Structures are given as structure tokens and as C-alpha cells.
Structure 1
Amino acid sequence: MPFQNLNLYLFHIFNVPEQASHFMMSYATFIAHDLIYIVFLSFICAWLIGNIETKKNILKAFIFTSITLFISEILSFVLDTPRPFVMNVGETILTHAPTGSFPSNHMSIFSGLALSYYFSSQRQLGKLLLAVAWLVAWARVYVGVHFPLDMFGAFFFAFVVNISGLKLWNIYKERLMAWVMMLYRKIFSFLINKGLIQ
């Protein structure tokens, strides 16, 4: 089976069926569109109240995910592959601009975060985040804004960034962390001194 045919075949398997329940469509829409905001808020809270080790892992995740997202944005713009609804393929239940489909920015973010933790001392959290990442991948295909290949591509680039960046991170992490913490303590000194954040 040609690769593009396999991509379309998998899309039709996971895309929203005609008899889908209102609950399933609402659930998939929440995962595909809104979960990312909860994750961002969780990381912000974890940074503000977490210890230095927690902050170090968050900084690593932020850097690696930002690089992955940057690659994703560039490829999406350059390749400009059409989304399913642009090709009139399947059903779409989430409004989205007709930007480039490959790779998925959402999957790039979730995969970048998950793999950053997976390749760290907090591997168990990384495993949980990987499950969340693939849940998001399913949801983005289900609501009709991406093809399965967009998800695998995003995961691949996140994997490459995390693997290739580990050595550099281990060399420079202490210096990076010291600089970030110095800046953080200057900006938020009032709240830190009041004991409201760490």
C-alpha cells in the first residue's frame, strides 16, 4: 500500500464517524483544542512552587520543546501540506485556519514535553506525558484538522531534538539554570521574599 494511501486509510479509521455521540465529539474537541492550556498552566504553577530540580526539568522541557516547535513551524510553512478539510477529506468538527498540516504543532509541543521528561530523572512522568501526547494525536485526527502522518512526523522531530540535545544540555544545564534563576529572582523578588512563590 503506497504511503499516502496508508495515511488516508488511517485517517478514515480515526476521523469522527457519522454516528459519533455528542459526548465523544465534545471530548475529542477538548483534548484537541483546550488541553494544551491546562498543561501550560500546570507547568507555570509547577515552576512557581517547585524546587530547583523541578525548575531545572521545566527549563529543559521548555528549551527542547521550543526548538521542536520552531522546526515544526518552519516545515509547516515551507511544505504547506494541505489539511484534510482543505482536501475535502473526512469530517471536520473543529474550526481551523488552512495552514500547513505537516508536522502538527500541537503534537510537536506535547511530544517535546513528554520526551524531555522521558529522557530525564522523571521518566515515569515522561511516560504519562507520552500517553497524553498520543491522546492529543488521536484527537487532532478525530476532529479532522490533521492526518496521522502529521502526528508521527511531529513525534519524530521531537525525538531527534531530545536525543541530539541531551549531551549539550548536560554540559550547560547548570550555567543555564544559574542565569535563569538569577533573572527569575530579580523579577519576582517581592513574591519570593513574601513566600508566595519559590
Structure 2
Amino acid sequence: MSIQQLNLDLFQTLNVPEHASSMMMHYAMFIAHDLVYVMLIVFAIAWFMGNRETKTGIVKAFIFTAITLLISEVLSAVLHTPRPFVMHVGQTLIEHDATGSFPSNHMSIFSGIAFAYYFSVKRDLGRILLCVAWLVAWSRVYVGVHFPIDMLGAFFIALIINLTGLPLWWKYSDKLMDGILWIHQKIFGIFIRKEWIR
């Protein structure tokens, strides 16, 4: 069996079935489309309320995820592989532009964040976030906007970026955080002095 056929068979297995429940479809659509915004809100709250260690984790996740996402965007534009609905395969529950399918930007974001924490002192949180990433992967296939191979591609890109970037992070993270926190203090100093944020 070819990789293409295996990819298609897995898609047909994971994509929303014809008689799926309304609850399951809405759950998958929330995970596929809206969970990323919930994640952004959580990180914003953690940034303003967290200590240096928390902020360091957020900066690390942001940098590694941004690089992963940039590579994902370039590959998507260059390869421009068709999405399932472009090929008239399966059912589609959410609207999406007919941009390149491989690799998945959503999976790039969630995997990039997850690995940033997994390869840190917060490894347990990283494990949880990896589970969340694969939940997102399932949902994006379920709602019909990605193939399973798009998720695997993004996952391994995030893994490679995190592994190769770790030596540089270990070398420069303290100086980088000193600069970022200095800027943070300058911008939000009045609120920090009032102890509304940290």
C-alpha cells in the first residue's frame, strides 16, 4: 500500500461520519477552530501574572513555534498540496481557504508549543500539551480540512526545530530574557508597581 493510499484511508476513517452526532461535530469544530484562541488567552494571562520562569517558558514557546510556523507556511506555499475538500473527498464542517494542506499550521502551532515545554523543566506540562496537539490533529482531519499526513509533517517539523534550537536557547536565553523583561518593565511598570500584574 502506498503512502498516499494509507493517508487517504486514514482520512476516511477519521473524517466525520455521515450520521455523526451534533454534539460531536460541534466539539470537533471548537477544537479545530477555536482552541487556538483559548490558548492565546491562557498565555496572555500567564504572561501578566506569572514569574520569570513562567515568562521564560512563554518566550521559548513563542520563538520555537514562530520558527516552526514560518517553515510550515513556506512549505505550504511551495508544495501547495490540495486539501480534502478541494479533492472532493470526505465531508467538511468548517469553511477554509483552498491554501496548501501540507503541513498543518494549527498542528505546527500546538506541536511547537508542546515540544518547547516538553524539552524544559516543565516536561509534564509538555506531555499534556502534546496530547492537546494530537487532539487538534484529530479535529482538523475530522472536520475535513486536513489529511493525517499534514499533521505528521507539522509534528516532525516542530520536533526538529525544538531539538536543533535547544543549544542556542540554553546559551542565550538568560540574556534574551533580561532584555525582554526590561522592556516589559518599561511598558507596564505602572501596573507592576500597583501589583495588578507581574
Deviations 1:28-56 (A, max 9, x none): 00000000100110011001000111111
Map 1:1-198 → 2, pairs under 5 A: 1-198=1-198
Question: RMSD across aligned C-alpha pairs, in angstroms?
Answer: 0.4
Normalised TM-score (structure 1): 0.99
Q: Distance in 2 between matches of 1:128 and 1:196?
A: 29
Say how many residue pairs are matched. 198
Normalised TM-score (structure 2): 0.99
Deviations 1:139-182 (A, max 9, x none): 00000000000000000000000000000000000010001001
SS in 2 for 1:165: helix
- 5+ unaligned residues in a row in structure 2: which ranges? none
Amino acid at match of 2:174: E
Q: Distance in 1 between matches of 2:20 and 2:164?
A: 42
Structure 1 residue 193: deviation in Å?
1.1
Amino acid at match of 1:63: I
SS in 2 for 1:33: helix
Structure 1 residue 127: deviation in Å?
0.4
Identity of aligned residues (%): 61
Moved runs in structure 1, 4+ residues, more than 6 A? none
Deviations 1:85-142 (A, max 9, x none): 0000011011101011000000000000000000000000000000000000000000
Q: Distance in 2 between matches of 1:193 and 1:67?
A: 34
